[in-house]
Amino acid sequence: MHAVPRRLVQHAGRLEQLPRYGPKPVLNPLPLSHSPHANPAAAPGLAAAACALNTYKSNTGAGTCSQCPTGSQTLQPGSTSVNECLCSPGRTGSATQGCSLCPVGTYKSIISNAACTSCPARSTTTATGQTSIAACQCLAGYTGTAASGCEACPAGTYKTSLGSDKCTACPENTITLTDAATSVLQCVCKPGFRGPAGGPCTRTGTAAAVDAHQGVRIVSDNAPVVIRLMPLLSALVQRARWARTSQTPATRNV
């Protein structure tokens, strides 16, 4: 077998003749895809990629990362145990036992296995799984915001729904008997007016009108018993006074 002349070189399985004069030809390198370092993960001496956020891998060697159970997530990449999967905001429990939604009236804003936080006094949520105190709304009969405090609607007003809406004034000539009323039906006629609960209420003959047949002031039937009896007691006292003043001196001395 003859040796290759010096002016001939072997390239990619074939002989190429070098020019007598001038620079040597540049040989084309192998394509990148044929390089043993084209894939960094396959390159010897390089660390394997960390598991992505919300995944974990507990064993060594080859294998894929596992997704955290439903309703849980990790705080950072590279987790090595399912115990690093914590319940998402709006959920409580544990990844291994199950992360359940925060019940109505509570919320949770952080990634953790902690219990859900109750809404402030006189407020609640309308759904499960809430993640912020902003989801807590003032109850009917109360106005404002949960964060700043829900205040009772004052007497003479009412509020029928959840939320931060203002309280509504009772109809004309009606008033509520307590704070935090939740319905217009709690607005009853003022003394001296008659009509159904919630109005309209109209003035009777006089502000102290007395029913000619029953001897009682006419007020709403929804008023408490004490208020309904007060006019009757007042009428009886007036009659007693009239009876005493109508007696003659001789009769009073008997």
pLDDT digits (tens, 9 = 90+) for 235-251: 666 666 666 665 555 54
Question: Per-residue confidence at 209, pLDDT binned at 50, 70, 90?
Answer: very low
Question: Is position 45 within any domain?
Answer: no
Question: Per-residue confidence at 116, pLDDT binned at 50, 70, 90?
Answer: very high
Contact criterion met (CB below 8 Å) for 108 and 91: yes
In this predicted structure, the answer to whether residue 213 has a pLDDT above a threshold of 50 is no
Question: Is position 171 within any domain?
Answer: no
Strand partners, 100: 92
Question: Is position 72 within any domain?
Answer: yes
Per-residue model confidence (pLDDT) at position 232: 59
**Looking at residues 34-40, what average pLDDT do you find?**
41
Question: Is position 165 within any domain?
Answer: no
More confident residue, 120 or 1: 120
Question: Is position 92 within any domain?
Answer: yes
In this predicted structure, the answer to whether residue 140 has a pLDDT above a threshold of 90 is yes
Range of the domain at 112: 67-135
Q: How far is CA 146 from the centre of its chain?
A: 10
Per-residue model confidence (pLDDT) at position 107: 98
Q: b/e per residue, 196-216, with b = 16+ CB within 10 A?
A: ebbbebeebeeeebbeeeeeb
Per-residue model confidence (pLDDT) at position 234: 61
Question: Is position 161 within any domain?
Answer: no
Contact criterion met (CB below 8 Å) for 129 and 91: yes
Question: Is position 183 within any domain?
Answer: no
- Split into its structural domains, the chain has a count of 1
Per-residue model confidence (pLDDT) at position 48: 75
Query: By mean pLDDT, which of 123-137, 145-159, 209-223 is the weakest?
Result: 209-223
Q: b/e per residue, 89-107, with b = 16+ CB within 10 A?
A: bbbbbbbeeebebbeeebb
Question: Is position 237 within any domain?
Answer: no
